[in-house]
Amino acid sequence: MAEHRVAVVTGASRGIGRAIATSLAAAGQAVVVGYAGNEVAAKQVVDEITAAGGQAVAAQADVADEDAVAALFDTATRTFGGVDVVVNSAGRMALSPIAELDLDDLDAMHRTNIRGTFVVAREAARRLRPGGAVVLLSTSVVGLQFPGYGGYAASKGAVEAMTLVLARELRGRDITVNAVAPGPTATDLFLEGKDEATIEHLAKQPPLERLGTPADIAAVVAFLAGPGGRWVNGQVVRANGGII
């Protein structure tokens, strides 16, 4: 395992991705803060990490663009010397009953969630150093079957399939591949468009009777990406407070 670990985190300018980036930095990893378009927010994450004594740099990339993703990894190698951890937190969510889902929305969502995850995972498989870790983000709605989440759950089901296959394809490389599947988590992406009654109802679903926080999810990712998670491989961890 590399002495100084370097992490690439996509979707790191806000929400769960931001919490993951700051959590990995707090654990001593140098972090490439990947973002799609919000440069100001990404630079705020970098400033937060560096102010706390960590190392970070922001880099823009559309995760579905293989050239942009290759450049993202190049930034990590050029700035910090290599890549040990890859977390793909970039994602898109469009909610609608299957019968009413606009196919342009479906295509955009699948471009980011399926193709984007595949492109990032492919680059990780090509570049990660021994002792590395890949963590992909799924969702607990793959197993919960909430109405309105058909297109989104389908895209994340593909992520889980990729996770299990890639873990086995990297046999002999000393690289772990896992997915984390959050339940309802209090992010802007989740809260957008929901009224208070809906949010309260979802918060009561887990036995712990609250929504998850980005920090809850980041802690699981940091475990899988750190020394304590080395014996966890080819798994989907449903971080959802016990919601069923």
Closest CA to 21 of 164, 179, 189, 135: 135
pLDDT of residue 2: 52
Q: Tell me: the pLDDT tens digits for 112-170? A: 999 999 999 999 999 999 999 999 999 999 998 889 999 999 999 999 999 999 999 99
Q: Tell me: the pLDDT tens digits for 188-240? A: 877 877 888 988 988 998 999 999 999 999 999 999 999 999 999 999 999 99
Q: Tell me: the pLDDT tens digits for 209-222? A: 999 999 999 999 99
On whether the pTM is more than 0.85, the answer is: yes
152 is catalytic: yes
What's the average model confidence in pLDDT over 14-23? Answer: 97
Residues 152, 212, 236, 241: which is the catalytic one? Answer: 152
Q: Which domains does the chain have, with CATH numbers?
A: 6-233 (3.40.50.720)
Taking 80 as the threshold, does the pLDDT of residue 32 lie above it?
A: yes
Helical axes 150-169 vs 103-110, angle rounded to 10°: 20
What's the average model confidence in pLDDT over 62-78? Answer: 98
The residue type at 131: G
pLDDT of residue 4: 86
Q: Do the Cβ atoms of 222 and 23 come closer than 8 Å?
A: yes
Q: Do the Cβ atoms of 30 and 80 come closer than 8 Å?
A: yes
Which of the four pLDDT bands, split at 50, 70 and 90, describes residue 3? low
